[in-house]
């Protein structure tokens, strides 16, 4: 399975040591999860289709100091090719998300909502959240509705760019943070 990493210091912004430590964990995890990697702090997304490597550390440190949090992901492909577009975190016009697990019914859900062009199961999460937010103004309720439609194992970080809220959920359990 993929690996998710998360750093959110209390009462301060992300500093270079935080990012370097995240990179060390990601490098260690890439030994067995080498089908792509990525990081995000809600402001930007950096991702590659290859194994995490030291040559990316400087770019990541420079790009992610000063944020409120940073989430990292090492991909172990269970579906979809080893391409940059399939590396996490994913993003759309509202959400940034990274997923660990397998969503067994993602194709049928994508068909139900006429979502064309999805290449891997993880992509359904943010797209389904957009659909649910069209009918549910409370993003927590929208997450609950979206996860109620998906089958399989889910462990997900989602950043809602519209509200500035960060969420972690594992299957039916949702953890909500403030701004």
- 94: preceding bond cis by omega (within 30 degrees): no
Closest alpha carbon to 32 in 3, 7, 72: 3
| 165, pLDDT greater than 80 | yes
What pTM value is reported for the model?
A: 0.86
pLDDT tens digits, one per residue of 90-138: 899 999 999 888 888 989 999 999 998 877 788 889 999 999 999 999 9
DSSP 69-126: -EEEEE---SSS-S-GGGSSPEE-SSEEEEEEEEETTHHHHHHHTT-----STTHHHH
Phi, psi of 12 (to 5 degrees): -160, 170
pLDDT tens digits, one per residue of 19-58: 999 999 888 877 776 668 889 999 999 888 777 888 888 8
Q: Give me 104's structure tokens.
A: 């067994």
CA distances 72 to 3, 6, 59, 80, 156, Å, are 8, 6, 14, 19, 11
Helix (H) or strand (E) holding 154: strand 152-160
């Amino acid at each position: 399975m993929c690996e998710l990493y998360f750093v959110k210091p209390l009462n301060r912004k992300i500093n270079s040591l935080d990012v370097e430590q995240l990179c060390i964990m990601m490098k260690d995890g890439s030994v067995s999860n080498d089908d792509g990697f990525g990081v995000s702090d809600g402001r930007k997304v950096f991702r590659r289709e290859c194994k995490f490597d030291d040559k990316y550390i400087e770019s990541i440190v420079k790009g992610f100091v000063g944020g409120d949090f940073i989430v990292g992901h090492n991909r172990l492909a269970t579906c979809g090719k080893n391409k940059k577009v399939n590396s996490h975190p994913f993003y759309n016009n509202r959400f940034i998300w990274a997923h660990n697990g397998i969503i067994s019914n993602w194709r049928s859900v994508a068909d139900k909502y006429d979502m064309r062009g999805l290449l891997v199961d993880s992509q359904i999460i943010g797209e389904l959240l957009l659909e649910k937010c069209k009918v549910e103004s409370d993003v927590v309720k929208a997450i609950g509705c979206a996860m109620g439609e998906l089958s399989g194992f889910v462990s997900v970080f989602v950043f809602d760019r519209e509200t500035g809220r960060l969420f972690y959920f594992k299957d039916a359990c949702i953890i909500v943070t403030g701004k």
